[in-house]
């Protein structure tokens, strides 16, 4: 729901007022007619939304939703639990969600699914700005097992040159025209970086979801799979869409052109659509039918994928600010950002995979810096 919404208002009208207010406050050009069209309002409806003479001043948009059930977890409680997840003394403690709440001195009246949605993951933390990392004991054990098996299967850098690393990319767009890549569930700002001006991204007003793959000397095009650019959408791809829009229309031609033995597709184990949760599903059937060689990444390990190492600091772009938020404009901005990523950096990253995995083992499963 747009943050300008107030009781008795409509999301579109509130968003129009908030958008124009923000642009004016920043000294940016304001094309009211274009903004009305963007939010599907007629000229008369748009100007009616701007007419606040009959609206109490206290009801003016302040970019804060006021409806709905109060959050089950207070912001102060979330901060207490977040501090625990960054605390080094808890790195060797196998906390579950209930244990995390107890260690933070909280009595929670919600279930673990609610905590998971609010906090992201218990496995790791990586600061988007300073790069500080924190990996919990249970997750370190999982990462060590994965690294040892991967090194046995692909011990040489030449082995990794056949791997094509794939995954979903979720682009967010802000009111000020900036673009970011939405962080993964364990990518947060540590306490120090969160206090610095400019590090916190306020909210997305549009989102764009794409699939892509990279490898040694290889970079695919972006595959946009979700027609919606709603700021509420999380971009979770369905398995049917993955089979149709990615495997059938993109990966299948690779198999036809170079043969099934020419590459191995590494898929993100954290994405349900890829079929990692079971051995019998639509995605796995497609792979078996077409002879696709594939493997799954180590879940919740962004340090083990080149796709996570290519981005600017804080996963944000500040240049070439957008002038509107039409779907074609958003896609072009994402394509330009993707085209600007260095193939040389990808190649270097791929060749370093054996050393990176060996470091995971030597560090007992801790995250490896970029």
Report pLDDT digits (tens) over 67-106: 455 567 788 888 888 888 888 888 888 888 888 888 888 8
CA 186 to chain centre: 10
Largest CA distance in the chain: 72
What is the four-CA torsion angle of 140, 141, 143, 148, rounded to 10 degrees? 140
Q: What is the 3-state secondary structure (H, E, C) of 87-147?
A: CHHHCCCCCCHHHHHHHCCCCCCCCHHHHHHHHCCCCEEEECCCCCEEECHHHHHHHHHHH
Question: 249 Cβ partners below 8 Å, 6+ apart?
Answer: 223
CB atoms within 10 A of CB 191: 13
Range of 28-32, 40-44, 241-245, 305-309 with top mean pLDDT: 241-245
What is the four-CA torsion angle of 358, 364, 365, 370, rounded to 10 degrees? -60
Q: Tens of pLDDT along 321-359?
A: 787 788 999 999 999 999 999 999 999 999 999 999 999
What b/e sequence results for 148-175 when a residue is b if at least 16 CB atoms lie within 10 Å of its CB, and e otherwise? Answer: eebbeebeeeeebbebbbbbbbbbbbbb
* Residue 152 clears pLDDT 50, i.e. is over it: yes
Predicted local confidence at residue 58, as pLDDT: 36
Residue 130: CA count within 13 A, CB half-sphere? 12
User: DSSP label at 173?
Assistant: E
Asked if the 141-362 domain carries CATH number 3.30.390.30, the reply is no
Mean pLDDT rounded to a whole number for the chain? 85
Q: Binning pLDDT at 50, 70 and 90, where does residue 231 land?
A: confident
Structural domain spans, the chain: 11-59, 75-137, 141-362
Distance CA 170, CA 349 (A): 22
Q: Output the pTM of the full model.
A: 0.79
Distance CA 167, CA 310 (A): 13
* Residue 4 clears pLDDT 50, i.e. is over it: no
């Amino acid at each position: 729901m747009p943050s300008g919404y107030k009781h008795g208002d409509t999301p579109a009208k509130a968003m129009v007022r908030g958008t124009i207010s923000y642009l004016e406050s920043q000294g940016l050009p304001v094309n009211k007619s274009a903004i009305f069209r963007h939010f599907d309002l007629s000229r008369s409806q748009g100007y009616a939304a701007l007419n606040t003479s009959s609206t109490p001043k206290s009801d003016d948009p302040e970019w804060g939703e006021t409806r709905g059930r109060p959050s089950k977890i207070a912001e102060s409680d979330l901060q207490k639990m977040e501090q625990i997840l960054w605390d080094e003394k808890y790195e060797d403690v196998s906390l579950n969600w209930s244990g995390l709440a107890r260690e933070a001195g909280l009595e929670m009246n919600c279930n673990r699914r609610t905590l998971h949605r609010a906090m992201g993951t218990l496995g790791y933390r990586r600061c988007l700005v300073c790069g500080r990392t924190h990996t919990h004991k249970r997750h370190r054990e999982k990462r060590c097992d994965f690294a040892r098996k991967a090194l046995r299967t692909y011990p040489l850098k030449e082995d990794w040159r056949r791997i094509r690393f794939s995954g979903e990319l979720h682009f967010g767009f802000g009111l000020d025209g900036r673009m970011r890549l939405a962080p993964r569930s364990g990518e947060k700002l540590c306490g120090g970086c969160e206090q610095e001006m400019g590090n916190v991204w306020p909210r997305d007003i549009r989102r764009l979801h794409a699939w892509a793959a990279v490898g040694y000397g290889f970079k695919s095009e972006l595959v946009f799979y979700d027609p919606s650019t709603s700021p509420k959408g999380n971009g979770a791809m369905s398995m049917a869409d993955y089979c149709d829009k990615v495997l059938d229309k993109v990966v299948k031609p690779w198999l036809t052109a170079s043969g099934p033995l020419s590459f191995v597709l590494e898929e993100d184990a954290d994405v349900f659509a890829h079929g990692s949760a079971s051995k019998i599903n639509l995605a796995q059937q497609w792979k078996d039918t077409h002879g696709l060689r594939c493997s799954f990444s180590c879940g919740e390990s962004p340090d083990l994928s080149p796709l996570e190492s290519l981005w600017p600091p804080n996963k944000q772009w500040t240049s070439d600010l957008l002038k509107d938020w039409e779907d074609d404009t958003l896609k072009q901005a994402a394509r330009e950002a993707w085209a600007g990523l260095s193939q040389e950096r990808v190649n270097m990253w791929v060749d370093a995979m054996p050393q990176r995995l060996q470091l995971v083992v030597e560090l007992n499963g801790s995250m490896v810096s970029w």
